[in-house]
Structure 1
């Protein structure tokens, strides 16, 4: 299938590792110019160098998405450099699992305001695109109560609502918005790799919940994200695509 991505531009937050890195790499392999951000400057530099081997253009900036001014500056500079924006993916999460006020504030600043700021900053350029799309990375924890209940689950649920609201509001303007809810996703250096090392009992119990007997790979999630973001999904908007290997049992109407 031709995703009709070649020659377009994509912007991905948190693009140096895990799901975000896999999304950026797939956009690049499909022929899009790709811009990423992350907090680790060295990781950004190294990732951009790798993306530049396959993408028409690749760029990146070290920033914290909770810093609204930094996000707005980056989006504007990227749009100027690339001559516009077509597809944006809000991928960063604070992974705020806990009950304290600090966790709630971190989750809100990163997961919610980071996504809202990105969308608002990109909107002038998305409106000029013939294939403007917004994709927010949520989680199965936003659909059901699990061990991440609290700020993480609440804000991931809010992202699904936000994406569907955007879809309704932006459809008359030719823009699409969707969310993707991954299940447990394993990659070296990721949260589940750390849990496997530090809390093998929790890791084993989480693994046992999935009837496939394994967790997702970042590449499997990225394929869903890039398809939804692409013009190939031109009549899909306002959906929440669950990528969890049948982990969750709730029926999504």
Structure 2
């Protein structure tokens, strides 16, 4: 996979940067991790499943950019802290924090709300707070949160997920203002509907074809997005090319939100 190398060739190099990625064993997070490693960064990835992390480590090794992995449940403060300590030790510090973990809390019940609030929102809040000493010690620090266009569009179903992402988008702007005094940039990406093997839309293509094709019809570009396209945006926002950008939530959605 040459995602990171391609982006690096266009100037979004992250050579020497130390990057901690929360939620990076599959899908968007996996592509971001491989892209950052391919762009020259030292990378630590945390996720819940050891099997996915092992597969990611093999893929990184195959592309010649080994990375550090750590298995933890990001719904808990203690395990987030343990990962960040481990990551900072392995990398020699932290310059970039990417908050990508999601609990996919779709059901409007106690479990759905708990999953979204604890992982999509509070894991990002906790990781950002706990990483602050290392970020403040960096000469070029930034935080990138992964929100969603679901935060901008009311729709039936997935209320917990959408509400948590809306809170994360607002937290991004508040955090950017609070951390500007330390020259720490904070931005977010709001992906549209992204399709990848065994991902949400890949499963819905089989399980709920009406929803799949109905959503596809609302994307002006006429296709679902790819994880690599989110990784490209992440590389830009965390690179020196975006050194004057903070407090921004970037839609990467092929114009999907334009269709309402």
Q: Tell me the TM-score normalised to structure 2 length.
A: 0.92
Instruction: Extract unaligned runs of 5+ from structure 2.
Output: 1-9
- Contact 2:73 2:79 (C-alpha < 8 Å) held by counterparts: yes
Does 2:53 align with 1:44? Answer: yes
List 4+ stretches of structure 1 deviating above 4 A.
53-57
Does 2:166 align with 1:157? Answer: yes
Show the counterpart of 1:136: 145
CA distance in 2, matches of 1:148, 1:208: 19
CA distance in 1, matches of 2:165, 2:36: 24
2:189 to 172, 180, 184: 180
RMSD: 1.5
Count of matched residue positions in the alignment of Structure 1 and Structure 2: 251
2:21 to 12, 20, 42: 12
Instruction: Extract unaligned runs of 5+ from structure 1.
Output: none
When residues 126 and 52 of structure 1 are mapped into structure 2, their CA distance, relative to the original with a 3 A threshold, is farther
Show the counterpart of 1:119: 128
When residues 73 and 182 of structure 1 are mapped into structure 2, their CA distance, relative to the original with a 3 A threshold, is same
CA distance in 1, matches of 2:256, 2:231: 18
**CA shift digits 1:8-36 (9 cap, x unpaired):** 11111121111001100110110001111
Structure 1 range deviating more: 76-85 or 52-61: 52-61
Deviation at 1:147, TM superposition (A): 3.8
Show the counterpart of 1:212: 221
Deviation at 1:106, TM superposition (A): 1.2
Does 2:147 align with 1:109? Answer: no
Deviation at 1:57, TM superposition (A): 5.0
2:72 to 63, 71, 86: 63
Q: Secondary structure at the match of 1:102?
A: helix
Show the counterpart of 2:91: 82
Show the counterpart of 1:234: 243
Q: Tell me the TM-score normalised to structure 1 length.
A: 0.95
CA distance in 2, matches of 1:250, 1:112: 27
Show the counterpart of 1:95: 104
